[in-house]
Amino acid sequence: MLEGLLIGLQTAFSLQNLLMVIGGCLIGTFIGMLPGLGPMSIIAIMIPVAISMGDPSAALILLAGVYYGAIFGGSTSSILLNAPGVAGTVASSFDGYPMAKQGKAGKALTIAAIASFAGGSIGALLLMVFAPALSSVALLFHSAEYFALMVVGLSAIAAFAGTGQVAKALMMTILGLIMATVGEGALFNLPRFTMGIMDLQSGFGFITLAMAMFALPEALFLVLKPKTPQDSQDGEIKDLRITCAEARAIAPVIGRQSLQGFFIGVLPGAGATIASFLGYAVERNIATKEEQEEFGKGSIKGLAAPETANNAACTGSFVPLLTLGIPGSGTTAILLGALIALNVTPGPRLMLDEPQIFWAVIMSMFIGNLVLLILNLPLIPYIAKVLSIPRNYLIPFILFFTLMGAYIGQNNATELLLLVAFGICATALRFADFPLAPLLIGFILGGMLEDNFARSMQLYDGIGFIWERPMTLGLLVIAALLVVLPSYRARRARLRAQGVADGD
């Protein structure tokens, strides 16, 4: 571990990677503040830029900086405008916006910055501790276990899809798996489902699909559902200091939610949004009656809890990504695709085969969180002015980089047609309240799933590997439970509610 830390420090502190950290944090902060534009959209747009660098360490550091920078900066619009920049900062508006209306906008932004910094830094420390433990099982993993692990990752999507969304998430995952079969197969190098189109022989482009799922629908949504400008804070934001009593009050909240948020982020399919809501709910439930009455009216604990949890969850989501090759959230699914495009295979052997990438990303998180703290505290009054930009001006920016990214990624005009077609379909699916992240995760994991399944079938002359390898069978049982349990709980809740209604 010490040797890995030294390698990571040497890589992360190179001039290029330091610039990548700072640049990623700046971009993420500004994008995160803009309502409706989340990290998935900007990361999808920036993937062609990252891939063109050629250095996997620099590319992943840049994209990771954008990721936690967007979550860090997303609190600004939540607090000032009650318009969350990203889904993970929705809970921050519950008490942040009331504080701003009370004239405590500066104090609220300071608490958010400190809580975010603490959550991200503690999460990075936990990542250093737990990631090597998970990667130590690398020698136990073969093709059969990798196949079962992919199944667990796919089934976990449904488990964390939310109430009433399990069936939709499963449908989108299956659609993603179907799309992954287009192109050459794992067993035979023959094109499949290409409909005679030569450009589809290598399958759908990940960059095209990612931007079609997230970036293009954002632009279309701005056109189809323009939002009326909300009241902004015209006065100068000042009084950024917090008292010693307030610091003592939020310190235990930050400690608890750093741990809870990190472990929620580790769960494949969870993420910053779930962590922030759970963090807010837990702190409200354990608070005294007097403190509970303050929640929703400007409680500093109600603001510190989700801000800590969502940043810790961002860091935690890198654990399954880097050590198991399973995306912990929709954003890390895009990062997984970027790694594969850079010919880096995340998984249990990443720490052994590519230690400079693994440890450089972790070290860059400490640097990035420090950069974000320095950036946010003194520049809060000036950064907040970005929120006055009309959202409609963002449409040409999004469309330009989306179209250019898709074309440059494949240097093929067919990708533009696919981008538009998929983007229109994705917009329709969003209107129908279908989650898009499961489709992208299914598409990314589909190729890996098929490759490992085909390899296992060849090694064991059939599906006997499922029973011959206990770890494979255990992982598949876990996958089955992850699919069945949410539906079972929902059905039991409906029966209980029906029984109560009949009793009345």
Within-domain flag for 235:
no
User: Residue 252: inside a domain, yes or no?
Assistant: yes
178 membership: H or E segment, kind and range: helix 166-180
Model pTM score: 0.67
**Closest listed residue to residue 478, CA positions, set 169, 149, 162, 144:** 149
Helix axes 355-383, 56-81, angle to 10 degrees: 30
In contact, 326 and 137? CB cutoff 8 Å: no
- Report how many domains make up the chain: 1
Tokens 């990940």, located at residue: 206
SS3 for 277-340 is HHHHHHHHHHCCHHHHHHCCCCCHHHHHHHHHHHHHHHHHCHHHHHHHCCCCCHHHHHHHHHHH
Residue 234 lies in a domain: no
Q: What is the pLDDT of residue 317?
A: 81
* DSSP H stretches of helix in 384-469: 394-410, 414-431, 437-460, 465-468
Q: Is residue 203 packed enough to be buried (19+ CB in 10 Å), middle (13-18) or exposed (0-12)?
A: buried
Find out whether 149 and 475 touch, Cβ atoms under 8 Å: yes
Token reading at 151: 């199944």
Residues 427, 223: contact at Cβ < 8 Å? no
> For residue 80, how many C-alpha atoms fall within 13 Å in the half-sphere facing its CB?
29
Task: List the chain residues with pLDDT less than 70.
Answer: 1, 34-38, 81-87, 134-141, 156-164, 186-188, 225-240, 267-271, 328-330, 380-381, 383-392, 394, 398, 401, 405, 408-411, 486, 489-490, 500-504
Give yes or no for a contact between 205 and 410, defined as CB atoms under 8 angstroms apart. Answer: yes
Name the H helices within 211-271: 216-224, 244-266
Q: Please tell me the number of Cα atoms within 13 Å of 76 on its side-chain side.
A: 30
DSSP conformation class of 198: G
331, 74 contact by CB (below 8 A):
no
User: What single letter denotes the amino acid at residue 197?
Assistant: I
Task: Identify the bridge partners of residue 184 per DSSP, sorted by sequence position.
Answer: 191
Question: Which residues share a beta bridge with 192?
Answer: 183
What number of residues does the chain have? 504
Backbone angles phi, psi at 99, to 5 degrees: -65, -40
- What is the span of the domain harbouring residue 339? 2-228+240-503
Amino acid making up residue 121: S
Tokens at 18, concatenated? 């330091």
Is 233 domain-assigned? Answer: no
Please calculate the CA angle 292-304-227 and round it to the nearest 5 degrees. Answer: 95
Q: What is the pLDDT of residue 229?
A: 46
pLDDT value, residue 304 = 92
pLDDT of residue 65: 86
Q: What is the pLDDT, as a whole number, of residue 227?
A: 56
